[in-house]
Amino acid sequence: MTGLEQVRRDAEVRWQARTDDSQPVIYIGTASCGRAAGALETLQAVKETLHELGKKARIIEVGCIGPCYLEPLMDVALPGMPRVSYANVTPAKAKKILTACLVEGDLLPRQAKGHFGDAEFTQQSGIQRFFDLPMLKPQIRIILKNCGLIDPEDFDSALSAGAYCGFERALTLGPEGVIHEIKEAGLRGRGGAGFPAYKKWEITRASTGAPKYVVCNADEGDPGAFMNRSLLEGDPHAVLEGILISGYAVGAREGIIYVRAEYPLAVERLRLAIQQIRTAGLLGENILGSGFSFDIRIQEGAGAFVCGEETALIASLEGQRGMPKPRPPFPANRGYKGKPTLINNTETLGTVPAILREGGAWFHQFGTPTNPGTKTFSLVGKVRHTGLIEIPLGMTIRQVVEEIGGGTPLPFKAIQTGGPLGGCLPAEMLDTPITYETMHELGSIMGSGGLIVMDESTCIVDMARFFVDFACSESCGNCTPCRNGTRILSDTLERITQGEGEPADLEILRRASETMTKTSLCGLGQAAANPVLNSLNFFADEYEDHIALKFCRPAVCTELFEYTILAERCTGCGLCRTVCEAGAIQGERKQLHKLDTTVCVKCKACVHACAQRAIVGVPLGTQTIANQRQEAAL
């Protein structure tokens, strides 16, 4: 028996002893998404309810399991029974559920969202399996296998779920064997570019110079993206194991996790996990008698988006201002402190343990021949089922939006892929498979995995302005095309959304965008114009509305419209008057209501309240034309 096998067996014994069937177990999702929804208040209510009922139960805090729209999530496992999950659990709801489950033995099937047992339990209880929920059923969980299921702060829990089995096999394969396994898997970097992972590893291993380093790029900065954060919070040992395996493969002695300081919970759980594996003998000199010596440390970044670029990241690690540098030399040849450095993003490294555990051929069966495996995405925006998802590459956008996301309340309009440096793909592109190549062909990017869904209430011009403003504020200013180009784009889009746009602005946008794409130093400047170019190609009519008619059809750009109440639709229900805090709407019940545009603050409260969709935005001073256009759109 190897040293690691003994460590795992001891851990399994300890974990089983703490989670036996003698008392109930309550699981609470306390990752950042759960906490934002009130999970800590629910956790406190659970503790208070147990005290009031005089009951004992083991409470386990877990990470994000995926469906963030269901948070806070609470699972109850009664002795001898599988976990049963309950969604949107407020403190009051937690008390009701625990009283029913622990006192009356009633699992409340109508309130339960799902269970983690087998088909027989489904027949007995009338509760569906949790992973049969529409959002989860089409997914394939490899990277997120343990997220939401294990205690991320308990080393025994992670080992019992298979942690470090991949590292154990890596030690038997040898460095070349490990790199061959990654090559057979076809793993491509999940940070956005999709560069074959094994090639980076080969180059780093072959490079002369010592010591060598492995850097985990956990500087996730895309608005609306939380894949890396969720993995670090829910299963930090998956990432640490990936760093260990890659360090062994390339001949490194130190691993550095560059993580943004805005992720305090991820940093806290990483620090704890590193201490745990150091105590277990998985870090340090001559690990488990293998002759491999390695250590891992954390360095917190200040949140500069540009530090996601590997040369800027290295500069930050070295205490310099985070600014990209020309390549070559590449970090694999000369990186941190001038030494060979392997840089992979969090998801790439988090995928490695599964490949080593199950084999490269196993991983390659998922996805497509040129895009093997799975990819995690954060699915947000105007979609019913928001959250963290993991899908095989090659799945279509339609499947993601309609099957997994549950569709949009209003008609689907576009999806932004690749975060602020990606592009908006319209409804006619819904059947496009999600691969690195197809995203590039359509003028977008895969990016790290942010997906923002938009419906008819979204203004594409305003969305482009938002992303360009983000890129402008995050530009390091090192190269002129990006420094000046993002400002030109931002100022031009601002004029257009303020009703001051001119036809010549469209040519200004295109020329500035193309110059940035061709001449910027790093990926930020080269891709910052994607939202503009892409939206000009697919949504030119919206730009023309803003410039020629001075009209924002979705009623987002407040300087270009005023609200009016359509007489043929108003039923006089009074809901709009009730929610209008400005007092801009007057009218008797069942009579046509009137809206005073001089008082209206355009907060949209009345628009959301009106079930008849009688309140619409019209161009200032041209209501007749606008009403006709609005009617056609509806």
- pLDDT tens by residue, 222-274: 888 899 999 999 999 999 999 999 999 999 999 999 999 999 999 999 999 99
Q: How far apart are CA 3 and CA 280, in angstroms?
A: 10
Q: How far apart are CA 29 and CA 60, in angstroms?
A: 9
Within 10 Å of residue 199's Cβ, how many Cβ atoms? 15
The rounded percent of the chain whose pLDDT value lies above 90 is 82
Residues of the chain with CATH 1.20.1440.230: 460-549
What CATH architecture applies to the domain 18-131? 3-Layer(aba) Sandwich (3.40)
Q: Pull the structure tokens for residue 243.
A: 């760093």
Where do runs of H (alpha helix) occur along 193-303? Answer: 197-206, 227-234, 236-250, 264-279
CATH code, residues 374-455: 3.10.20.600
pLDDT at 625 over 50: no
**514 in Cβ contact with 553 (< 8 Å):** no
Residues of the chain with CATH 3.40.30.10: 18-131
Residues of the chain with CATH 3.40.50.11540: 164-364
Please, what sign has the CA dihedral across residues 372, 377, 383, 385?
A: positive
Mean pLDDT over 378-388 rounds to: 96
Question: CATH: 3.40.50.300, 3.40.50.11540, 3.30.450.20, 3.40.630.30. Which one for 164-364?
Answer: 3.40.50.11540
- Per CATH, is 460-549 categorized as 1.10.287.1770? no
Q: Pull the structure tokens for residue 67.
A: 């469906």
| pLDDT the model gives residue 41 | 98
**270 in Cβ contact with 231 (< 8 Å):** no
Q: How far apart are CA 340 and CA 214, in angstroms?
A: 9
Q: Provide the CATH topology of domain 561-633.
A: Alpha-Beta Plaits (3.30.70)
Q: Is the pTM of this model over 0.85?
A: yes
Tell the residue number behind the tokens 């990819």, with chain if given: 375
Please, what sign has the CA dihedral across residues 83, 84, 89, 93?
A: negative
Mean pLDDT over 148-166 rounds to: 94
Residues of the chain with CATH 3.10.20.600: 374-455
pLDDT at 2 over 70: no
288 band by pLDDT with thresholds 50, 70 and 90: confident
Mean pLDDT of all residues in the chain?
A: 92
| Cβ contacts of 597 within 8 Å, gap of 6 or more | 562, 563, 564, 584
DSSP 13-68: HHHHHHT-TTS-EEEEE-SHHHHHTTHHHHHHHHHHHHHHHT---EEEEE---S-G
Q: How far apart are CA 367 and CA 378, in angstroms?
A: 18
Tell the residue number behind the tokens 């147990």, with chain if given: 50
Q: How far apart are CA 147 and CA 70, in angstroms?
A: 15
Q: What is the pLDDT of residues 194-213, one digit of tens each?
A: 899 999 999 999 999 999 99
444 band by pLDDT with thresholds 50, 70 and 90: confident
